[in-house]
Structure 1
Amino acid sequence: MDARSTAPVPPPGCPAHGAGGRVPLYGPEFAADPQAYYTYLREFGPSAPVELSPGVDATLVTDYSAALRLLQDSASFRKDSRRWRAFNEGAIAPDSPVVPLLAYRPNCMFSDGAEHLRLRQAVTDSMARVDVRRLTQSTEQVSSYLIAQFGSRGSADLLGDYAKQLPLFVFNELFGCPADIGDRVLFGISGMFDGINAEKAAGVLFGAVGELVALKRNRPGDDVTSWLMQHQARLDDEEMVHQLALLLAAGTEPLRNLIGNTLHRLLTHDAYAHRGGLIDEAIDDTLWENPPMSNLAPHYPVSDMEFAGQQLQAGDLVLVSFAAANTGPVLAATRQGGSRAHLAWSAGPHACPSKEPARQITVTAIESLLNQLPDVELAVPADSLTWRPGPFNRGLAALPARFTPSEAVRRPAAPTRPEPSAAGGPDAPESGKPERAGRWSQFLNWLTR
């Protein structure tokens, strides 16, 4: 019997043999049907050899139980990417598109032990101070502004015109970003995750956040940036910049995908025909079956070891496939309705610290859209939609929709709380200086005119 006959068969279009036997998690084939790839990867066992981009090898954990073991085992696996052996040995090109998201930065995502606890506590305590009513109000205001831009047309790309922009605006308001800084934050985050001039985009993001830190040192406000700065952890300026950049980037990009993927589900599944009362259910189903971050949580084994069916060397890059773990056949068969035991928010000591605000923003954004555009529907065949390529994200490139054109949306009242940096006060451009034309600036001008 030919031993090769029992080997797993790659999905159509998968050039696995061209990647040294590793399965590539990039390109249009993977983006179009990642579940076919995950089915193939499960044939290797609880984990499998993959390639994140040309020349960047990793081990991907696809089994739910194995993923939980990894995420909760801080003794055997560390998060500090300075342990990344292939990168340290020069096997990874510094300009690889995945490096800006995986390379070490002094933030709570890439730290371990006592340092992680210190940074993480500062982040969680600061985020816990966000008022739900304020968050809802801010989301409703941003939503009304965005819908006002396209509502009278009767058509829109619900990704580019809505889901992509809303999280950036909401987070910028919560973090007290004035217009000039908010514009550059928007540019930097979008460029990093889209892989377009990622290194330059990262520089723009960190430069803008550095200016925000300097501003808030002199003019603290009622915002997450100021709360983080005032925390008993006493973060220095470098630590402030990296925690804020992490929160802004890791908060807005997954949220963009969660809003978009949930809207996609509502518009393409008959089960949600009466959409108004099923938003929470649609969000839960999306987090289970189409999570916004499909493969991430980089870890590095402390020593040579066997884990989840693979032999690992110290410093090997190991990632968790939230999408594959959530949709494993055994788990799918036993999953109960309403369960939120998925791994879309990760798990263990590095689980997402902002999942509750993220869910609240998503619910409010979708409710607002459906209330203002109740007959919104997909404008193209569902099978013609394309998904953004890449190993980490799961998000549509566009979501064309049509609806009955609405009258101009009435501008909501400006925020009642005194927030100079979010209301065009002391942090706004000085009188006589030209206003920036970025979308964030336009939103502030619209909100306060």
Structure 2
Amino acid sequence: MSTTTRRIPLYEADFVSDPHTAYRRMREKFGPLVPVDLAPGVPVTLIVGYEQARRILGDPMRFPADPHVWQKTIPDTCPVLPMMEWRPNALRSAGTEHDRYRTANTAALNAVDQHALRFLVEKVAHETVSSFRHDGTADLLAQYAWPIAFRVLSTLLGCPDQLGHRIADGMAKIFGGVNATIGNQILTQAVADLVTLRQHQPGNDVTTRLLSHLARLDDTEMIHQIITLYGAGIEPLTNLITNTLLRLLTHTDFSGDLHAADASIREALDTVLYRDPPLANFCMSYPPRPVDVDGVLLPADQPVVISLAACNNDPALGTSPTLGNRAHLAWGAGPHSCPARSHAYLIAETAIHHILDALPEMDLACRPGDLVWRPGPLPPVSQHAARRLLHHPLKEFPPCPSSPSSSSTPAPPTRTPSTRPYAPAARPPWWTSSV
């Protein structure tokens, strides 16, 4: 790939507004390996070919996820650095350290009882719907998908409500962009308090199991694992629930198949994971030496990013995916694939099933074309990372009396528009969101 090739900026409005058209044009011009800029002066290679992505994701020796060398060349003011720099977790490490973090996280997650998890989601979904069903209108993202993802994950982590509210407050300030430094302090301290709580009061939860694992994670590593679980759990799961419900409400054939029992909700989820995955471009790697991929020489220590959305819709795969086909890359692949996909499936499936049963007459409160998509998960940092609705308004479901809820849910983080330049001090050094 020539160093003089004009790179495609992924941070401009044209890409954010219509990414699938952009992927098609990239593929036509460059093939499966595309030179892009994630931010001004941050060159990467974007993989838009399915087969090439599978090979790269399955080759951690040539494509490790450790960014140590790369980030030495990147200024602290770089807006995408928070999502790409090294931190002590499985997403940004390689070799034995990756194995250590991955083994601990996988063991802690695998011990979650699936039957108890389904019961928990049903309980939280019932309480969440009850909080707004008497109004006759709701924002599905802010009032349903986000509260379910947050409350369920907090319960799995053994996080009591008081700490959960502090964690949500910290996340809200970070995402808002104005009080990000304070938000980072609030969040980090709240998670540290959660770790201390479970050190002194062990429970049947993910945090306790991480603490007791043979990996012997120290306090700093524990904080990073918990924050990573929040980041990797809430954002993609919220997007998956919201995007699936959006498709059900706006695609007559799709929802018709579902209600005619020709397809299960699980199959509906897989269709959305194929066509509009919660994280569009992620799975970053940093080859330590030049690598030839199908005749294209990728530079050493320059990031390689997998476009999960583009690869899933690669014309080389042939026709559109059929219902029940789960060969998509939405969960990643290889040693960095999502260790909690069964949990995510169960939570999303149960949440969607519940609201379809509870509010069968719900409809959008606006035209589909009027829905606003936002870059995410951390504006203005990662316009390339996710495609998520700002709001998902509903109307026209019969108002019903609400039932009392046994637990309160913090409000979801809001993203307030800001024209202020990116401030290095506001950069949370731990943040990531990945499959």
Instruction: Tell me if structure 1 keeps the 8 A contact 2:48–2:306.
Output: yes
Query: In the alignment, what sits opposite 2:24?
Result: 39
* Matching of residue 245 in structure 1 with residue 227 in structure 2: yes
Give the corresponding residue for 1:314.
Answer: 300
Which digits, 9 at most, give the CA deviation of each residue in 1:75-130, with x for residues without a partner?
1111111121xx312xx342433222211110111111122112111111110111
More displaced 10-residue stretch of structure 1: 394-403 or 218-227: 394-403
Q: What is aligned with 2:401?
A: 408
| Matched letter for residue 397 of structure 1 | L
Matching residue of 2:85: 103
Q: Name the residue aligned to 2:72.
A: 88
Residue equivalent to 1:291: 277
**What is the percent sequence identity of the aligned residues?**
40
Which SS does the other structure have where 1:375 is aligned?
Answer: coil
- Write the distance in 2 (CA, Å) between the matches of 1:194 and 1:328: 35
Letter in 1 for 2:130: A
Instruction: State the match for 1:271 in structure 2.
Output: 253
Deviation of 1:186 after TM superposition, in Å, equals: 2.3
| One-letter amino acid matched to 1:284 | D
Q: Is the 8 A contact 1:45 1:309 kept in 2?
A: no
Alpha-carbon distance between aligned partners in 1 of 2:51 and 2:178, rounded to the nearest angstrom: 35
Matched, 1:333 2:307: no
Q: Residue 209 of structure 1: which of 179, 191, 201 is its match? A: 191
Q: CA deviation at 1:180?
A: 2.7
Could you tell me whether the CA contact under 8 Å between 2:62 and 2:287 is conserved in 1? yes
2:64 and 2:165 mapped to 1: Cα distance? 35
State the 1:55 CA deviation. Answer: 3.0
One-letter identity of the residue aligned with 1:144:
H
Counterpart CA distance in 1 for 2:176 and 2:283 is: 19
Letter in 1 for 2:326: R
SS at match of 2:56: helix
Three-state SS of the structure 2 residue aligned to 1:164 is helix
Q: Does 1:58 align with 2:44?
A: yes
Greater Cα shift, 274-283 or 233-242: 274-283
Quick one: which amino acid aligns to residue 72 of structure 2? N
Per the alignment, residue 260 of structure 1 pairs with 242
Q: SS of the counterpart of 1:342?
A: coil
Structure 2 match to 1:146: 128
Which is further off, 278-287 or 293-302?
278-287
1:341-398 C-alpha deviation (Å, 9 max, x unpaired): 1000000000000111001000011111111111111111111111112111121111
SS, match of residue 94 in structure 1: coil
Deviates more, 1:60-69 or 1:239-248: 239-248
Aligned-partner Cα distance in 2 for 1:343–1:200: 36
Is the 1:376–1:402 Cα contact (8 Å) retained in structure 2? yes
The structure-2 alpha-carbon separation of the partners of 1:392 and 1:202, relative to structure 1 and needing over 3 Å to count, comes to farther
Alpha-carbon distance, 1:244 to partner: 1.3
Contact 1:144/1:411 (8 A) holds in 2: no
Q: Distance in 1 between matches of 2:78 and 2:232?
A: 20
Match of 1:30 among 12, 15, 21: 15
Q: CA deviation at 1:41?
A: 1.4
Which residue type is aligned with residue 104 of structure 1? Answer: W
> Aligned equivalents of 2:227 and 2:190: distance in 1?
9
Structure 2 residue 373 is the aligned partner of structure 1 residue 380: no
CA 1:437–1:128: 2 relative to 1, 3 Å = closer
Corresponding residue of 1:177: 159
User: Alignment partner of 2:297: what SS?
Assistant: strand
Distance in 1, matches of 2:46 and 2:180, equals: 23
Larger Rg: 1
Return closer, same or farther for 1:61/1:213 CA change in 2, 3 Å cut-off: same
SS in 1 for 2:34: strand
Q: Give the corresponding residue for 1:11.
A: none
- Say if 1:102 and 1:137 are closer, same or farther in 2 by CA, change over 3 A: same
CA 261–318 in structure 1, closer or farther in 2 if over 3 Å, else same: same
Gap change, CA 1:240 and 1:151, over 3 Å in 2:
same
Change (3 A) 1:334 1:266: closer
Measured against aligned partners, the alpha-carbon deviations of 1:115-154 in whole angstroms (never above 9, x if no partner) come to 2112111111110111112211221222122212221111
* Structure-2 residue corresponding to 1:74: 60
Distance 2:160 2:213 in 1: 22
* TM-score of the aligned structures, taking structure 2 as reference length: 0.85
The answer to whether the 8 A contact 1:45-1:308 is kept is no
Q: Counterpart of 1:304 in structure 2: which amino acid?
A: P
Secondary structure (helix, strand or coil) at the match of 2:319 reads helix
- 2:220 alignment partner AA: E
Q: Secondary structure at the match of 1:153?
A: coil
* Structure 1 residues 127 and 288: CA distance shift in structure 2, 3 A: same
CA distance in 2, matches of 1:279, 1:73: 33
Distance 2:372 2:58 in 1: 35
Matched letter for residue 240 of structure 2: L
| Residue ranges of structure 1 left out of the alignment (5+ in a row) | 1-18, 415-422, 424-435, 441-449
Q: Which runs of 5+ in 2 are unaligned?
A: 376-382, 413-435
CA distance, structure 2, for counterparts of residue 291 and residue 192 of structure 1: 24
Give the whole-Å Cα distance in 2 for the aligned partners of 1:236 and 1:174: 21
User: Are the structure 2 counterparts of residues 223 and 376 from structure 1 closer, same or farther at C-alpha, using a change threshold of 3 Å?
Assistant: same
Please state how far the C-alpha of 1:313 moved relative to its aligned partner.
2.2
Partner SS, residue 273 of structure 1: helix
